[in-house]
């Protein structure tokens, strides 16, 4: 069966740490969908529940209410729920193992899955090539720049051949120039891969540059305030920021987000 989309229906989540009285409503009635083979970006003010939503989508957190469904096209053309496809996450903090080389870091997930040594090596080398890090296989994380470490993080996700990749602020810790370069590189990698990507970012430019559509969340408890389709041609390079449609989208999204950021500061 062909994977069609992740479907999110009426998702709410309340963290009850500190007791029922002092809990935090992180998400409130979130409904949206993430189409297969597309790049979806989620933007929203700090603390609005973006990471919580990703954890729920990944099955790492059970929501207080609502459902996440993985939709597949059945033989009859109808859409049915099925089991979760293969998923991988790239976190802002890289999560590299300092005592392992680049090659062994990239191959780590395959090792956990019991993939044989020769295949592991082959697939890891291919993933390292795809993020342009060939020649650095034997380096350790502390011998790499922040941008290179982030590319190792990306390779570690790609090597698992996931159907869905979650990127949680993947460029958050990088300087502006490295970030621009990696955004272009990521755009090329994900456009080629045809994977389903869900990207959480604080950067409106990054969301528009990379995504097919952008979901804007409200201040906590997070809801979906609006969805914008990004009708810009691919492949995309940074010059696309000069396209008038880019500017118009930025203005619309920023206008909405500015209000939410203001609210989140009063929260």
For position 17 contacting ligand ATP by CB under 6 A, the verdict is yes
For ligand ATP, the closer of residues 50 and 151 by Cβ is: 50
Question: Given the rule CB under 6 A, which of 49-57, 80-88, 108-116, 241-249 is the region that contacts ligand ATP?
Answer: 49-57
CA separation for the pair 116, 250 (Å, rounded) = 47
Among 51, 89, 201, 264, binds ligand ATP (CB under 6 A): 51
Q: Which of 254, 245, 199 is nearest to 226 (CA)?
A: 254
What does the alpha-carbon distance between residue 206 and residue 230 come to, in Å, rounded to a whole number? 12
Distance in Å, CB of 172 to ligand ATP, minimum:
9
Part in contact with ligand ATP (CB under 6 A); list of ranges 45-53, 66-74, 148-156, 229-237: 45-53
Per CB under 6 A, the segment of 46-54, 139-147, 152-160, 241-249 that binds ligand ATP is: 46-54
Instruction: Tell me how far, at minimum, the Cβ of 161 lies from ligand ATP, in Å.
Output: 27
**Residue span 19-38 as binding mask against ligand ATP, x where in contact by CB under 6 A, dash where not:** -----x-x------------
Which lies closer to ligand ATP via its Cβ, residue 144 or residue 197? 197
Total binding residues for ligand ATP by CB under 6 A?
13
Residue 82 CB, shortest distance to ligand ATP, in Å, is 27
Q: How far is CA 86 from the centre of its chain?
A: 14
> CB within 8 A of 168, min separation 6: which ones?
50, 51, 54, 89, 90, 91, 92, 200
Instruction: Determine how many CB atoms are found less than 10 A away from the CB of residue 135.
Output: 10
Nearer to ligand ATP, 173 or 188 (CB): 173
Comparing CA positions, the residue from 214, 175, 172 lying closest to residue 197 is 214
- Between CA 190 and CA 131 the distance in angstroms is 11
- Residues 207-236 touching ligand ATP, rule: CB under 6 A, are 220
State the DSSP string of 86-137.
-EEEEETT----TTS-HHHHHHHHHHHTT--HHHHHHHHHHHHHHTT-TT-T
Q: Which residues make up the interface to ligand ATP (CB under 6 A)?
A: 15, 17, 24, 26, 44, 46-52, 220
């Amino acid at each position: 069966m062909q994977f069609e989309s992740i479907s999110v229906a009426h998702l709410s989540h309340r963290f009850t740490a500190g007791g029922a009285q002092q809990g935090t409503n992180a998400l409130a009635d979130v409904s949206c969908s993430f189409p297969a083979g597309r790049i979806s970006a989620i933007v929203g003010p700090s603390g609005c529940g973006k990471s919580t939503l990703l954890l729920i989508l990944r099955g790492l957190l059970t929501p207080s209410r609502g459902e996440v469904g993985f939709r597949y096209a059945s033989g009859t053309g109808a859409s049915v729920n099925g089991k979760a496809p293969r998923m991988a996450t790239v976190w802002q903090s890289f999560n590299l193992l300092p005592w392992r080389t680049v090659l062994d870091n990239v191959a780590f997930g395959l090792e956990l899955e019991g993939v044989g040594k020769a295949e592991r090596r082959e697939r890891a080398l291919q993933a390292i090539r795809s993020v342009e890090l060939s020649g650095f296989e034997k380096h350790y994380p502390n011998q790499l720049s922040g941008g290179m470490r982030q590319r190792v993080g990306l390779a570690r996700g790609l090597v698992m051949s996931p159907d869905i990749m979650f990127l949680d602020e993947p460029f958050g810790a990088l300087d502006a120039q490295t970030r621009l370069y990696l955004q272009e590189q990521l755009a090329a990698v994900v456009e080629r891969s045809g994977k389903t990507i869900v990207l959480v970012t604080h950067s409106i430019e990054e969301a528009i540059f990379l995504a097919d559509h952008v979901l804007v969340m409200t201040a906590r408890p997070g809801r979906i305030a609006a969805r914008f389709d990004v009708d810009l041609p691919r492949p995309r390079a940074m010059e696309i920021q000069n396209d008038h449609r880019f500017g118009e989208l930025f203005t619309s999204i920023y206008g909405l987000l500015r209000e939410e950021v203001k609210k989140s500061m009063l929260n």
